[in-house]
Amino acid sequence: MNMILTSECEQCTYGIIDESNKARIKVKCNLKNKEYHYGQCIPCENKRKRKEEEKFEESSAV
DSSP string, the chain: -EEEEGGGGGGSSSEEEE-SSTTS-EEEETTTTEEEETT-EEEESHHHHHHHHHHHHHHHH-
pLDDT for 11: 85
Q: What is the pTM of this model?
A: 0.67
What digits encode the pLDDT tens for the residues 2-58?
888 988 888 888 889 999 998 999 999 998 899 999 999 999 887 655 555 666 666
The predicted structure's pLDDT at residue 61: 60
pLDDT of residue 47: 64
